[in-house]
A and B are shown apart, each in its own frame.
Chain A
Amino acid sequence: MVTSRQDCRTVYVVGVGQVPVGEHWDKSLRDLAVAALRAAVADGGGEAPGALMLGNMLGSTLSEQQHLGALIADWAGFRGIEAASVESACSSGAAALRQGYLAVKSGEHRLVAVLGAEKMTDSVNGLATAGLAMAADAESEAAIGLSFPAINALLMRRYMHEYGPEREDFAAFAMSSHANAVGNPNAMFRKAVSQKACLLAPTIADPVTLMDSAPMADGAAALILADAETAARLGRTGVRIAGSAVATDSLALQDRNELLYLEAVAASTERALAAANRSREDVDFFEVHDAFTIMSILSLEAAGYAPRGEGFRLAQEGVVVRGGRLPICTMGGLKARGHPVGATGVYQAVEAALQLRGAAGDCQVEGARVGLIQNIGGSGATVVTHVLEAE
């Protein structure tokens, strides 16, 4: 397809790889990363990439390991290539995808590996919770005792106060993600949940319950990106990245212009769709960052799929569920596929590529041609959005 930026290189997704999301007690951060990366390289035709961009959030805290770019390049059998890791909290994975995309788009590299990897079950006590709180503002939020679920609880409480959704409205989002995960062999929770189970779930930070929040998990996922000539040579031109954008906002909730409007979601969605020459209506499915049910709702509103204060209706009304006008979290989302934080953005991209290849199995969205994927750092401070399209 000819785009307004035809002078630049087109970036194709030529390989994907992932390990099942879950609790991998017998595997380290590097084991998970190497497995996903080698699977993607094999899927992409077996050639060594020229560079590796790796997304990870908690390696320094939970595995006491930084410097992951060189480590994983070496352990995966690609010693010598360019490699670096990228961190932007829970959006680290998509931030690495963005860097890989730019590396190919610029012409600097022809074949680039993008990897998201996270090992969350190595810690005991509250170390993972403390690590996640680092996505918030250390001096004004973490310092007064706020946890990451509590920050989302502040958003959810205010939303309920202003717009009056019922518990059932939030539950419908969790139920939809769980129903979608049943068909995904790499999902952590392949089990549908009832409305009753959602309504009876224990509270984590009132009003956020266990069923409002995505589980911590181990995982790694990888993509191989290539320019047009390389993709054609490899015979893998089925999926391309049509749009890519990042926008930022304040880390601290107290510094937002409007608490319930995710400005970075609005800006990055707008830019990514514009780059792809697409409108919202062209999108066949949307991988939403459903770390908490309130984040799904605020994301759908800021992305322009619902008026302010109306997004909570979209799951109950069947718009964003399987078979609806805009299916979201088609392979379980963060809630049911699982949320290995720094890997999540790459899982979203792997799943979107599978949908566009028509290889999503029982999760397949029929006729999917255009996929929107969005990975959010913190409670909306970094928002990375990509548009993937089938050729």
Chain B
Amino acid sequence: MALQLPRDWRLQAQRYRLLGAKCRGCGRVVVPIRPVCPGCGSDDVETIKLSGRGEVYSYTVMYKVPDSFERSVPYVVALVRLEEGALISAQITDVEPEEVVVGLPVEVVFRQWRQYGADGHIVYGYKFRPVMPGMAATQ
């Protein structure tokens, strides 16, 4: 894949801070931020910082993966239902694939996404991991 440094630079805030768009009209929250609410069409949308807590809504384990993701094989990708109501696609990390179930409580962490290009350009961003027992109170 061709190196896309401007795109990776442009998307840093989204990938590093887990931002969402909340509609002031209907209240819907979506990730990533976007200028118009997909629920009601309002452009009265504010950017919010998401809590990063939620639970696994669906998941899969990937063995045959796209180029530049080989280092992580196998990995779990999930749809996570965030506390704020939005769904988000993300990898689940710090876990054995067979430990993941629908409903598993998870929290956001900052990790390496992939490495690509001749110079080994590294892209970082959000992933989720199981909430450690007894750790939730300190978040």
Q: Are A147 and B79 in contact (CB under 8 A)?
A: no
Residues of B near A203 (CB, < 8 A) are 63
**Cβ of A290 under 8 Å from chain B:** no
Q: Which of A145, A154, A208 contacts B58 (CB 8 A)?
A: A154
A277 within 8 A of B: no
CA gap between A155 and B78 in the complex, in Å: 11
B61 and A141: CB pair below 8 A? no
For A316, what are the chain B residues with a Cβ–Cβ distance below 8 Å? Answer: none
Task: Assess whether A288 is interfacial by the CB under 8 Å rule.
Answer: no
Establish whether residues B60 and A157, one from each chain, have CB atoms under 8 Å apart when the complex forms.
Answer: yes
Within 8 Å by CB of B66, from A126, A158, A206, lies A126
Report if B65 contacts A (CB, 8 A): yes
* Known A130-B1, A143-B113, A145-B114: A254·B86 in contact at CB below 8 Å: yes
Interface assignment of A7: CB less than 8 Å from any CB of chain B: no
- Min C-beta distance of B27 to chain A, whole Å: 14
Known contacts A130-B1, A158-B57, A257-B39; decide if A145 and B64 are in contact (CB<8 Å). no
For the complex, count residues of B whose C-beta is within 8 A of A.
36
Contact across chains for A140 and B89 when beta carbons are under 8 A apart:
yes
Q: Which residues of B contact A147 (CB under 8 A)?
A: 62, 64-66
Docked-complex contact A130 and B61, CB < 8 angstroms: no
Question: Mask for B18-45, Cβ within 8 A of A = 1, else 0?
Answer: 0000000000001110000011000000
Instruction: Assess A145 versus B62: contact at CB under 8 Å? Given A158-B102, A254-B89, A259-B87.
Output: yes
Q: Are A141 and B67 touching (Cβ within 8 A)?
A: no
Per the bound structure, the CA–CA distance linking A180 and B51 in Å amounts to 51
Which A118-133 residues sit within 8 Å CB-CB of chain B? 125-126, 129-130, 133
Q: Taking the complex as formed, is B125 at the interface, i.e. its CB lies under 8 A from any CB of chain A?
A: yes
Q: How far is the CB of A147 from chain B (nearest CB, A)?
A: 6
In the complex, A113 Cα to B64 Cα: how many Å? 38
Name the A residues within 8 Å of B60 (CB-CB).
150, 153-154, 157, 205-208
Mark interface residues in A246-258 (1 if CB within 8 Å of B CB, else 0).
0000101111110
A346 to chain B minimum Cβ distance, whole angstroms, is: 28
| Chain A residues whose CB sits within 8 angstroms of the CB of B72 once the complex forms | 145
Shortest distance between the CB of B36 and any CB in chain A (Å): 12
1/0 per position for B116-132, CB-CB distance to A under 8 A? 00000001010000000
What's the minimum C-beta distance from A295 to chain B, rounded to whole angstroms? Answer: 15
A125 to B65, CA, bound (A): 11
A5 at the interface (CB under 8 A from B): no
Q: Binary interface profile of A, 128-162, with partner B (CB < 8 Å = 1, else 0)?
A: 01100100000111111111011001110110010
CB distance from A249 to the nearest CB of B (A): 10
- A125–B70 Cα distance when bound, in Å, is 12
- The answer to whether A145 and B91 touch across the interface, beta carbons within 8 angstroms, is yes
Whole-angstrom CA separation of A145 from B65 in the bound complex: 7
B110 at interface by CB-CB < 8 Å: no
When distances are taken between beta carbons in the complex, the residues of chain A under 8 Å from B102 are: 157-158, 161
Chain A residues within an 8 Å CB radius of B32: 139-140
Q: Cβ of A205 and Cβ of B64 under 8 Å apart?
A: yes
Q: Is the CB of B66 within 8 A of A129?
A: yes
- Docked complex Cα distance between A144 and B67 (Å): 12
A150 touching B57 by the CB < 8 A rule? no
Q: How near does chain B come to A163, taking the closest CB pair, in angstroms?
A: 13
Q: Nearest chain-B residue to A207 (Cβ)?
A: B60
Q: How far, in angstroms, from A144 to B59 measured CA to CA in the complex?
A: 13
Whether, in the assembled complex, B77 has its beta carbon less than 8 Å from a beta carbon of chain A, the answer is yes
B135 interface residue per 8 A CB criterion: no
The contact of A145 among B39, B57, B75, B87, by CB within 8 Å, is B75
B109 within 8 A of A: no
A204 within 8 A of B: yes
* Residue contact B64 to A158, C-beta cutoff 8 Å: no
A-B contact pairs, 22 of them (CB 8 A): A126-B66, A129-B64, A139-B14, A140-B32, A144-B77, A144-B91, A145-B114, A146-B62, A149-B64, A150-B62, A154-B58, A157-B59, A205-B60, A205-B61, A205-B62, A207-B60, A252-B89, A254-B31, A254-B87, A254-B88, A259-B57, A259-B58
Residues of A near any B CB (own CB < 8 A): 125-126, 129-130, 133, 139-147, 149-150, 153-155, 157-158, 161, 203-208, 250, 252-257, 259
A-B complex: 10 closest residue pairs judged by Cβ atoms: A153-B60, A158-B58, A254-B87, A145-B69, A154-B58, A206-B61, A157-B58, A205-B60, A161-B102, A150-B60
Interface residues of B (CB under 8 A from A): 1, 11, 14, 30-32, 38-39, 57-67, 69, 72, 75, 77-79, 86-91, 102, 113-114, 123, 125
- Since A130-B67, A154-B60 are in contact, a sample of 8 more A-B pairs with Cβ atoms closer than 8 Å, ordered by chain A residue number, is A133-B66, A140-B88, A144-B90, A145-B91, A149-B64, A206-B60, A254-B79, A259-B57
